[in-house]
Every structure is written in C-alpha cells, then in structure tokens.
Amino acid sequence: MNRHILRLLWNKKRSNFLMFLEIFFAFVILFAVFTIVTRFVRMYSTPIGFDTEQIWAAHFNFDNLPYASDTTAVLDMKERLKAEVAALPEVESVSAIGFVSPLANGRWQTVNDDNGFEMMTTLHWVDKDFRETMNLQMVQGRWFEEGDDQGRYQPVIISKKLYDMHFKDRNIKDSIYTIQGENRIIGIVENYKYSGDFTEELPATFLYQPPGSMDISNLVLRIAPGTPPAFEERLNQTIADVTKTSDFTIEHLKTTRAVKARQVWLPMAALLAICLFLVINVAMGLFGVLWYNISKRRGEIGLRRTLGATRGEITRQFILEIMLVSLAGIGVAAAFAVQLPLLNVMDVEAINYYIAMLMAAGLILALVFICALYPSRQAAQIHPAVALHEE
Amino acid sequence: MFSNYFKLAVKVLGRRPSFTAISLFGISFTLMILILLAAFLDAELGEEQPLGNRDELVFVDRITMKLEVPDTTWQVDSTLVNGQMTYDSTEIITTSNRSFSSAMLSYSFADRHLRDVAGAKDYSIYSPTFNYDLFINGNKLTFDAVYSDERFWDIYNFEFLQGRPFRKQEVEGQAQVVVLTQKATKQYFGTDEDVLGKFMEIDNKRFELIGIVKELSNSKGFLSGQAYLPITTANPVVLNNDSFQGPFEVVFLAGSARGKEDIRQDLDRKARQIVMPNPEQYNVLELQSSDFLSRYAFSVFPRRDGPDSSQRMLFIVFGGLLLLFVLLPTLNLINLNVSRIMERSTEIGVRKAFGAHSNNILLQLVFENIVLTFLGGAIGLLLALGALYLVNDSNILPNTTLRFNVSVFLYSLLICLVFGIISGLLPAWRMSRIQIVNAIKQNQL
C-alpha cells in the first residue's frame, strides 16, 4: 500500500513539487518566528525580582553641576539629597545607587578567571535601603548594613543566577572570592532581571555603596500608595533645591517597564499576526488544491471502490499522500534548520530552536491533516457506479 | 485584444467563485501588509521634514577611546620524537584592548577638531540628550531639549508653522529664545494661537517662544526634540568641559553623494592625527561616522563593528524576511493557478489549434492573472487604508504617523504588478506549451 502511494506521488512529482516547496517555506518561516517568540517567552517566564508599581527613579547628571569641582560640596549635597527626599511624608523609602539603575539602559559588567573559573557578572552599587525599597527577595544570608564598608573584605551579595552558574550546592556564605577586588559573599537574592521583562537574566553582584559616596548617580524611591500625581512637582522642586540644577529626570518604573516590554511584544504580535495570515493563506490554498486534485481523480477512486476498497481506505490513501509530501517538505527544511543549534550560529540557546521546530512541524502537520480531511472524505463518498459512468 | 482578455478574465473569475475568493484573500492580505510596510518605511526613512537633505548627511555621534597594548603569548608545544622530548615555541603578538570608552562628543572637541572637514559644505553641532520635566498646573511634561547652533536650521529643513528659527546673533548673544513643536506648544500654553513672544521656563531660565515647527513624523532619537534652544544657553559646565567626551554630536552636509565618502575618510584621517592627552590611559581614538541609513540601522541593530556593519545586517535580515514573506503567498497562488488553469486546457487547445501562438496564450494567461492581482490589490488597498487608520488612531507607534501618499501608492502598484506577473508566469508558461492533442483530449490530467 505504502509503496503504491510513493509511486503515485512520484508519478505526479511536478504538481507535488510545488506543494513540497510551499510546505518547505511555510516551515522555514514558522520556525524563524517561533524561535524568536519562544526565546522571548522563556525570558519573560523568569520573574523580574523587584517591585515597579510604586517605584520612581531619579537620574542625575552630576558631572554638570556648577560647583562640580568642589568635591566637599558635592559630597555634602549627595548626603543631604537622600535625607531630604526621605523626609518627605509621601516617600516610604529611598535608596541612593551608583551608575546602573534598574530598567535604565546602563550596564556594568566584569569578567575574570581569578577564582580558577571564568566568571561574568554585572555589577550594581547599592546602599542598605535598596532591598527594602525595591522589595528584593533574599534566598540566603543578609542584606547590607551600615558600616559594612569597614571590614577587611568588601561585602557583596550575589544573585541566585550567579550562584547557580558557579557555586551550585555549595555553602558560600562568608566565602571570599575575587569579583571586584576580593569580596566576602554575605547573601544571595532570588532574581534581579534589571533590564526588563523580555531580557535574559544576567548574573548580578551587588556591591555596598556607603552613604555620601562620590559615585551616587541615581535615587530609587518607594512612594506611598494613594499619593496624588501632583506630588511629583514637589519632589522635583525638593531635588532641584538641594542639587541646584534641573538637569535630572524622574521616571516611574511602572511606566518604563511597560514601555520596554511593549518594544518587544509589539513587534512580536505583528510577527505572529503576519504568521497567522500566512498560515490561513496556506491552509486555504492547500484546501483548494487538494479539493481540485481529488475531484480530478474520480475515475481512479471509482475503480478502487469497485475492486473492494472501503471508504476508510480511500480516505486514508489521500491523507497519507498529502502527509508524505508535507513530511518530506518539513524533513528537508528541518535538516537545514537544525544546523542553527548544531553550529551555534547565533547566540541563542539551542532549546529554543528545538521547541520552535516541534511547534512549527506540529502546526503544519495538523493544518495539512485538517485541510486534507474534508476533500478526502468527499472523495470516499463517491459512488463507484457514478464515477465509472462518467469515465 | 486586451479588452477581450479582460472580459474573458472576468468571466473566468466568476466561474469558480470559491477558488477566486481563496486567491483574492491571499492576494489582498499580502498586498495589504506590503502596503503597510511601504508606508512604515516611508515614514521612517522617507524625505519627510526635517530630513529633506537626508541623502547628503554624515553624522558623527560617537567617539571611542581605547588603550591598545601589544599582548605577547608564549606557546610551547612539547612532542615526543624518537623518545626525546622536543619543544616548539611560538610567540604570538596581538593587540589587546585594556580599556575602552565610548560616548558622544564634547563641544570643545567638536569645535576644535571638526570645524573644517574636507568635502563638507556645512556642519552643525548640537546636543539632543537633554530633557526637562516641566510642570503645568500639576501635570508633568517631559520635554526633550535640543541645544543647537544656527546652522542646524539650514541642514535640517524644519517646516515652520509660525515664527522663525534663531539666528547667528542670537546664538552668539546667548539670547533666551526657543522653538517648540506644535504639540509641545499646545501642551505648554494650552493653545497654539497668539503664543509667539510668550515666555516659558526651562532649566530655571525664561525663554521667549519665537517659532513653532510642524510635528516630526519620525521616531529617530536624534531628532525627536520638543524644544530647540540656542547652544550657548546650555549649561556652561557642559559647554566648557574640555575632555573629549560630552553630550554633543555633529552633522555634516555633503554637496553630493560622493562628498559623503570624502567626509568620512577625512574624519578617519583626523581621528588618527589627534594627539591623545594622556596616552597611558587611552592611546587610540576613533570617530564613529555614519550616513542616514547606516545610523538608522545602527539604532535598530547596534553592532560592535559600527554602523556600516549594522546596515548590512539590516539589509540581510530585512531582505530575507521580506523574501520569505512574499515567497509563501506567491507559491500558494502559483499552486492554485496551476490547478485552476488546467481546467481550461480544452479552451487553450482549441485556440492553439486555430493558430494562436504560445506567446499569445502566455500573454493572455498572465494578463488574466494581473487582472486578478489588481482586483486583490484594490481590496488590499482598502484594507491597508483601514489598517493605517487603526494603527494611527490607536497610537500603537508613538511618534510615528503612517501616511498614505503618492509614493506609497506607486509602490503598491508596482508590488501588484510584480506579484501578478510572478505568480501567473509559471502556470501560464506550462499551459502555453501544452500539446494540442493532449489539451483537447478530455480527462488527460
């Protein structure tokens, strides 16, 4: 039976080739789009690790202060800034942090192999109030406390991601590792995906920034729920009075997070919409072509029915025919597609490709099956006498 | 002859409405998406104001300083030859980057080194990076401010709705004047009538409104300001900063497309000649220059090798996607056409038997397909207009207004024609070469 079908397919190779080509390209497109979507969905599935709802961030450019050359004045201003902002009743908690601010575009990373293995981590300079303000979750150990900069080794807190990559199942509390100088690890936090929802979580290390540090360039604030929007003007005025500049911006992390996420999901939605249309297009085309081809083969069907083939067998024959052509198309395309993870052409985890491949193949086969079902059923309904009479 | 073909085409399309509907669905949606894409590209990359000189611009928006030191590696291979250990040592000298700093330019650097660049007809130094939170009746407005010199207005041809740009004397005299976009004017003053000459407060200074420009219809970061101020009113600390890096960029106007290459070469030459102030910190300086397209590409696909590499990447990715996207509906249509044309083998056989040439048949069948595509194109155009309205109305693409204009319409026509010819050619070619005997004989399929 199967060899018979193969011969039939071979005899009509010209028209089947077009079908093959269509399936081939449909697979390629779906594979590409599903890889992108899988990658972002998997990124999205790790929690961001901090609150954004009532959190505002103020970004400064302290290089341009009119008194920038007077270091004591700048240091004094930075200490007063945090205290005066914290004194506002609407501000529940405030933290002064270094150059890298959550959901902003900055990044600071370091790679070294001083510990005997290559370790990459992003660096975040934060103060003792950062955990409380951002609501970070500790897995182990403790957060920074005042006076933590006094010890022999600078304390650091690492993210669980970094722990899992290099220290899995080891007790590293109070161990000394070389990260940014020699550091004592005092705690582990759950997640810190600071670049946004649709980004890969990078291993993170928090370093302690004592109050009044020269490197403070951002504030993050937790605003009390129910604070009227007009408060922002007062906050703006308070900051401007302390810093004597208006060269700073206040952003709402909730908005920034939504904007950043939208930059990803909007093109993704557009891609999926285009894919959906392509799939519908291909399905309708297949349906039309199959319908037409099968109706052209009434004579053959009549003959088989007369010779004792059941309706089920006729249906099976047609479905099998078209499924084989599709499988050939998918197989050839998959052989190309599998080169991407094998040769590691792009910096994408291999699992994303395999998931995408399975999804694309599954969708196409399901679609082809559905499109073939109705015309094949119709063909099986043909009465042998009628079909042969036409002949 | 073509009117006959046309009548015939309409008849044939009516004969099998379900097939026609399937074909039309595919064609119209494909063309709708292509038209939307053309409108999007036109909005992003077209010669809209203020980018009338788009093809003659060269940007320098990044200065990279590196410390490159020779890196010597000793590699010793030990092998056992005839029971004796032999050593083969190699010394590999490469350069390694110890530190790296990349940022925009400082005003003093641009002013000192980029004033006379060979091939440049004009240039402008400006900073698009400042933004200010302004509060009007308790509402926050975040204005992106662009500090620029007066030549900025010659290079970018902003369309002024009211008033005028600031002039050389005003820039030199540190006049506190401002040009706003229309939307920003309405947001700040509540109206855009009789507002010229009124004052607004930015950065604790009072600026007089002297001009209102049309809203920018693009999403390019370096031109998305709402307020344009004379460069001399910027923070003096920023202006007087004498390091190489700061918040400024420079745009050059080349007289011609060739001029762009000259400018970029001269910039590379200049970068090599500049003496580094402390070579133990950084000893190599690079100026990143780009033209409009590569700069746009760089903002979409930032690549370490610079904008030219980004542009190649953009073309490859975009071209590949577009090709795949058009290929599938085309194949689908070819597939449908092949089936559908076979039905007409008798008619074609008869025509050939009466002496019609293969080419005539080919022309007729392709023409019929073009009629079908244009029908689909018309539907696609209506769909696209609806979609454009929806996209603009829902504000999905902030700062970008998609417009349907003549060039988009011409693109759509071209797309229809190409699509129709390609998808009709293969089936028609096959049919036109059919043997008369086979064609007239029934059931030979």
Per-residue confidence (pLDDT) for residue B138, from 0 to 100: 75
B346-364 pLDDT tens trace: 788 888 888 888 888 888 8
Question: How far, in Å, CA of B213 to CA of B194, rounded?
Answer: 15
- Chain B residues with beta carbon closer than 8 angstroms to that of A15: 338-339
Q: Test A22 with B25 for CB contact under 8 angstroms.
A: no
User: Nearest residue of A to residue B129 by CA position?
Assistant: A247
- Our CA-based measurement puts residue B144 at a distance from the nearest CA of chain A, in whole angstroms, of 11
Q: Contact A229/B139, CB-based, under 8 Å? A: yes
Q: Is residue B396 over pLDDT 80?
A: no
Q: Which range (A37-41, A165-169, A288-292, A363-367) has the least confidence?
A: A288-292
| pLDDT score recorded for residue B398 | 67
Distance of CA B298 to the CA centre of its chain: 10
Q: Given pLDDT bands bounded at 50, 70 and 90, which one contains residue A67?
A: confident
| From B26, B138, B327, residue closest to A230, measured CB to CB | B138
User: Residue B215 CB: number of other CB atoms within 10 A?
Assistant: 15
Chain B residues within 8 angstroms (CB to CB) of chain A: 18-19, 22, 25-26, 29-30, 33, 130-133, 135, 138-140, 142, 202-204, 235-238, 241, 321, 324-325, 327-329, 331-336, 338-340, 342, 396, 443, 445
Q: Print burial letters for A157-195: b (CB count within 10 Å at least 16), e (below 16).
A: bbbbbbbeebbeeeebeeeebebeeebbbbbbbebbbbb
Chain B residue with CA closest to A300: the answer is B443
Mean pLDDT confidence for B102-114: 90
Q: How far is B431 from chain A (nearest CA, A)?
A: 13
Q: Is the pLDDT of residue A133 over 90?
A: yes
Contacts of A274 in chain B (CB under 8 A): 33, 325
Of the residues B339, B390, B433, the best mutation for testing chain A's interface (the one with the most A CB atoms within 10 Å of its CB) is: B339
Residues of chain A with pLDDT > 70, as a percent, come to 99
* CA atoms A318, A320, A326, A329: torsion sign: negative
Least CB–CB distance from B396: residue in A266, A289, A292: A266
% of chain B with per-residue pLDDT over 70: 96
Computed over every residue of chain A, the mean pLDDT equals 87
Nearest CB to A281: which of B29, B237, B238? B29
**Of A262-276, B83-97, B151-165, the least confident:** B83-97
For B214-229, the pLDDT digits (tens) are 887 656 667 778 899 9
CB-CB under 8 Å, B138 with A281: no
Q: Are strands B205-213 and B199-202 parallel, antiparallel or unpaired?
A: antiparallel
Residue B180 has pLDDT above 50, yes or no: yes
- Per-residue three-class SS string for chain A: CHHHHHHHHHHCHHHHHHHHHHHHHHHHHHHHHHHHHHHHHHHHCCCCCCCCCCEEEEEECHHHCCCCCCHHHHHHHHHHHHHHHHHCCCEEEEEEECCCCCCCCCCCEEEECCCCCCEEEEEEEECCCHHHHHCCCEEEECCCCCCHHHCCCEEEEEEHHHHHHHCCCCCCCCCEEECCCEEEEEEEECCCCCCCCCCCCCCEEEEECCCCCCCCCEEEEEECCCCCCCHHHHHHHHHHHHHCCCCEEEEEHHHHHHHHHHHHHHHHHHHHHHHHHHHHHHHHHHHHHHHHHHHCCHHHHHHHHHCCCCHHHHHHHHHHHHHHHHHHHHHHHHHHHCHHHHHCCCCCCHHHHHHHHHHHHHHHHHHHHHHHHHHHHHHHHCCHHHHHHHC
**First and final C-alpha spacing in chain B:** 30
Task: Verify whether the Cβ–Cβ distance B29 to A232 is below 8 Å.
Answer: no
Residue with more model confidence, A302 or A222: A222
Using only C-alpha atoms, chain B has a radius of gyration, in whole angstroms, of: 31
Query: Residue B444 has what pLDDT?
Result: 43
Which one of A230, A285, A299 has the shortest CB-CB distance to B335?
Answer: A285
Q: Region B157-172: what's the mean pLDDT?
A: 93
Which of A19, A63, A245 is nearest residue B335 as measured by Cβ atoms? Answer: A19
Q: How far does the CA of residue B212 sit from the closest CA of chain A (Å)?
A: 24
pLDDT in tens, A330-376: 999 999 999 988 888 777 888 999 999 999 999 999 999 998 888 88
Residue B220: predicted pLDDT:
65
- Decide if B33 and A29 are in contact by the 8 Å CB cutoff: no
Distance from CA of A208 to the nearest CA of B (A): 24
Highest mean pLDDT (candidates A87-96, A292-301, A347-356, B396-405) = A87-96
Look over chain B and give the mean of its residue pLDDT values, rounded to a whole number.
84
Instruction: Using the predicted structure, report yes or no on whether residue B15 has a pLDDT greater than 50.
Output: yes
Q: How many CB pairs under 8 A join A and B?
A: 105
| Residue B98: per-residue pLDDT | 65
d(CA A203, CA A110): 11
Above pLDDT 90, what percent of chain B?
22
Model confidence over B20-73: pLDDT tens digits? 888 888 888 888 888 888 888 887 787 777 888 888 899 998 898 888 877 777
pLDDT digits (tens, 9 = 90+) for A136-179: 999 989 999 988 888 888 999 999 999 999 988 888 888 888 88
pLDDT of residue A390: 62
Residue B445 above 60 pLDDT?
no
**Cross-chain CB nearest to A66 (options B237, B321, B328):** B237
Cβ atoms within 10 Å of A107's Cβ, excluding its own: 13
Percent of chain A with pLDDT over 90: 38
| Cross-chain residue pair B22–A284, CB shorter than 8 Å | yes
Q: Mean pLDDT check: name the lowest of A1-15, A150-164, B259-273, B327-341.
A: A1-15
Q: pLDDT tens digits for B293-308?
A: 888 888 877 777 888 8
Position B217 scores a pLDDT of 65
Tokens of A87: 């004194």
Token pair, residue B63, equals 């200065």
Q: Which of B18, B321, B332 sits opposite A285 (nearest CB)?
A: B332
- Measured over the CA atoms of residue A344, residue A347, residue A351 and residue A356, the dihedral's sign is negative
User: pLDDT value at position B150?
Assistant: 94
**pLDDT over 80 at B315, yes or no:** yes
Name the residue of chain B whose CA is nearest to A284's CA: B22
CB contact under 8 A, A288 and B336: yes
CA atoms of A253 and A102, how far apart (whole Å): 8
Provide the pLDDT for residue B343: 74
Q: What is the mean pLDDT of residues A50-72?
A: 85
The answer to whether residue B371 scores a pLDDT higher than 90 is no
